[in-house]
Amino acid sequence: MWVFSIAHQHKLLLVLSRRAHKSASVSRVGSQFASYRVTASLLWPQDSSINPVAKRRRRVSHTSGVQHKPAVSDGWQDGERSVQSKAWKNEIPGQKPNQRRGDDSRVSPELRRLCLEDFPAERERPAGQRSTLDSKAESYEIVFGIAPCLLALTQGRRKARKLFVKDGEASHRASVLKVCEEAHLRGVQVHRVSKKDLDKMSSGRVHQGVCLQASPLSYLTEGSAPERKDNNTPLWLVLEGIQDPMNLGAILRSAYFLGVDRVASSLHYSCPLSPVVSKASSGVMEVIGVYGYENLEDMLKLKVAQGWQVVGTVGAEAEESQTPVTQCSDFQMTKPTLLLMGGEGEGLSRELLSLCQALLTVPPGRELFPGIESLNVSVAAGVLLHSLLSSRRSAR
């Protein structure tokens, strides 16, 4: 049995009383913080059910035999997060979470409707602690840019998995909020990440603060989509060996805008339908179907047998050939037509040129210096398509 002197007993009582006083003061401070943070949680929610940091801290505080000061701090944080979790579970899209009457006057309905935090999004941890894209991302690709992401969500041709939005004031722009709203309506997770993470996802390209993890798009095949029928004379744009994704994106944008009935492309020596093409097309690639063919010659011969005409394109200084070369402004499209355009370097192959019944060219408006006698393929496509479609309207 231990025997304490009067001095030791007095000292022990003094230490115990100080600890009790300190514990009480910390409890009062914790309750004050909890009161404030519960109110703040309804304005800036962070769901603890998807916050791995909160889960780990909670396990530490429960297994520890002695509650130190950080454990007390986690107590009111866990209380805050549990309230947030319940609030978001009961929330209906387009309505506010349950609030006390005193909180209703702090945030107007318009502001809450435009606030990014209204979406039950998960806030990503720093990239150094956990990779933003998990192991399942191998079968997905990153679509970037507001228009491509919005159309990829609304058109339903891709399987969207996660939406990544730049954290900060830029995320409150109306265009960004529209993308978040469409993702939320379709059950796609919304994650707020840093600009550095978005730059890495998009390989340094212009992402406009939005990236979407989604399944890739591939070329369509015959019979994979219903063919549109109308009273107009059909015009198909056939591309051979377009390798620059920026050119392909610009061509798709012009073709969709001007009213081309179908875009077809060779599968060999052509760039895939990548997110870069989607961004260059301003999202048109998500809307218009691009058909891919292993052998363009077979497809062209089949269409000729069905009564279509094959029209090729050449530069203004093209070599003389047996096929007549006509200025695009002088050509009248009177029957179903296939307009062929070749790659950036060599143009159309000899095999496809031999199938052409007419050749079109865009005449220059001045005498040209050597080396710049031709237009960019995407610009030439826009000029030729506009000329042919205008002649179709005038003939009708």
pLDDT at 181: 95
Q: Exposure of 325 by Cβ count < 10 A (0-12 exposed, 13-18 middle, 19+ buried)?
A: middle
Which residues in the chain are classed under CATH 3.30.1330.30? 123-127+138-214
For the stretch 281-306, pLDDT in tens is 999 999 998 999 999 999 999 999 99
Residues in the chain, pLDDT under 50:
1-4, 24-115, 117, 120, 124-130, 135
For the stretch 222-275, pLDDT in tens is 876 666 666 688 999 999 999 999 999 999 999 999 999 999 999 988 999 999
pLDDT at 171: 76
pLDDT at 375: 87
pLDDT at 15: 57
CA distance 177 to 39: 24
pLDDT at 134: 56
Does the pTM surpass 0.75? The reply is no
Architecture of the structural domain at 123-127+138-214: 2-Layer Sandwich (3.30)
CA distance 13 to 318: 104
Q: Which fold has domain 235-395?
A: Alpha/beta knot (3.40.1280)
pLDDT at 132: 55
Helix pair 377-395, 245-258: axis angle to 10 deg = 10
pLDDT at 367: 84
Which residues in the chain are classed under CATH 3.40.1280.10? 235-395
pLDDT at 82: 42
pLDDT at 51: 47
pLDDT at 224: 67
pLDDT at 122: 52
* Residue in the structure block whose two tokens are 């944008």: 253
